[in-house]
Amino acid sequence: MKAPSIIHIQFVALRRLLGETKEQFCFRIRNMFQKIFEWIMSLRLFSWLYITVQNLLIKSLSVGPIPEHVSFIMDGNRRYAKSRRLPVKKGHEAGGLTLLTLLYICKRLGVKCVSAYAFSIENFSRPKEEVDTLMNLFTVKLDEFAKRANDQKDPLHGSRIRIVGDQSLLSPEMRERITRVEEITKEGQDFLLYICFPYTSRNDMFHTIQDSVQDRLETKLQSRIDIKKFTNKMYMDLYSNKCELLIRTSGHRRLSDYMLWQVHENATIEFSDTLWPNFSFFAMYLMILRWSFFCTIQRYNERNHSFFERMYEGVPSILKRKKKPMSLYQFPNPPLSVSISGEE
């Protein structure tokens, strides 16, 4: 008796699947679970539950200290596309969507400034096709952000964008577009986004030195160039002083010539093994929660009060145990003195 055709087809498909390599098999399984998860999240009940939990976590985190400046090294877009057998362009598009989602979250949490490492000067050494793809995608995202920043119904309304880096390496058309977008969003006061494009920290410091010396020669001022003046001349202006939380994805444990000046003062650097397009709200939430927890402890220590001491201070004086005065005769005898010169 022959098996039904549908069962026979499934057995053939299973035999082919088992005959594939381990890497292909893992890819198929991962892709299957991803589709199942996307289908579950598309259901109204689960979507409502996810949003409700997210709002609750954001409100609870907003009670404590929040970093003023959060920065992202968005690494892993190419590997994301390769792992899913997609064009590199799709990986960068997915990375852009992740950044937009996290910008919404940061603005709701009360973060004042977000910076993102979008394109390193070293990336010009990549294949021309990929560089052109990044440039075209960048222009599209610029226009999209400007549109959202001026839309009163969008959560990013009231935001300002600044593109920082060595713009002399960009085409005149790109520089003109950047100037136009910055002009459109210059009135934004609620939230500031720095896109580092193209950028390296060494280039930032080099240009700052050049500009500082040039201003000194032109104005002929006798005042010295101090750290504060030097810092305020960097690409990120007042936010060049420090970055409280720097997050890098994709598993690499290095800064790649990014934010070397900004992370010098009590910065928390978090490394995640997750590829940037897969970096979720919950992953960032846990990092900010950890930062908030240790920041609270640090602030208590700076005030020279432990948690239990503060609790003891809140107890009414009538309930506190009074310390008995100690007389001079109750102190222990001093230790024996010994001459180090040998003289008595």
Residue with tokens 């990375």: 95
Distance in angstroms (rounded) separating the CA atoms of residues 155 and 170: 30
Q: Contact at 8 Å (CB) between 69 and 244?
A: yes
- Tell me if residue 150 is catalytic: no
d(CA 236, CA 243): 11
Q: Residue by residue, what is the 3-state secondary structure of 81-135?
A: HHHCCCCHHHHHHHHHHHHHHHHHHHHHHCCCEEEEECCEHHHHHCCHHHHHHHH
Write down the catalytic residue from 31, 55, 75, 132. 75
Residue 2: CB partners within 8 Å, gap ≥ 6? 8
How far apart, in whole angstroms, are the C-alpha atoms of residue 70 and residue 259? 11
Active site residue: 31, 77, 123, 151, which one? 123
91-94-98-103 Cα dihedral, nearest 10 degrees: 110
Asked whether 258 and 201 are in contact (CB, 8 A), the reply is: yes
d(CA 13, CA 127): 38
| Other beta carbons less than 10 A from residue 252's beta carbon | 13
DSSP string covering 178-218: HHHHHHHTTT--SEEEEEESSB-HHHHHHHHHHHHHHHHHH
Is 75 part of the annotated catalytic residue set? yes
CB distance 157 to 151 below 8 Å? yes
Q: 3-class SS at 302?
A: helix
Please name the residue that has the structure tokens 């970093």.
67
- What is the spatial distance between Cα 206 and Cα 298, in angstroms, rounded to a whole number? 34
Give catalytic residues, as residue numbers. Answer: 75, 123
